[in-house]
Structure 1
Amino acid sequence: MLAVFALVALVVVFVMAAVVVGRESSRLSVEAPRPVFDLDEAVPWVSDRVPFEVSAVLSHDDVRRMLRWNLADLQAAAAPATEPTDDEDDDGALPASPLTVMGEQAAVAAVQARADAEGLAYTDDQVRAVLDAHLAYLEVIGAVGPAEGVAAAASGPDGGVGDGVAADEKKPGHPPTGGATMSAPEKGGGPAEQTV
Structure 2
Amino acid sequence: MTIKSLTFIAIAATMFTACAESTTTPPSKAQECAAGLTAQCILGTWSTEGPTIPQPTGEGFIYIIEPSHNFREDPATLKFYVDEKKVNKFEFTNSSKSTAECKPTKIYGNWEIINNSIHLNATAGNDCIDRSQNDKTIQAEINIDGNDVALTIKELYFLEPEMKSADAVVKANAYEVYNFVSSN
Structure holding more helix per residue: 1
Structure holding more strand per residue: 2
Normalising by structure 2, what TM-score? 0.30
Normalising by structure 1, what TM-score? 0.29
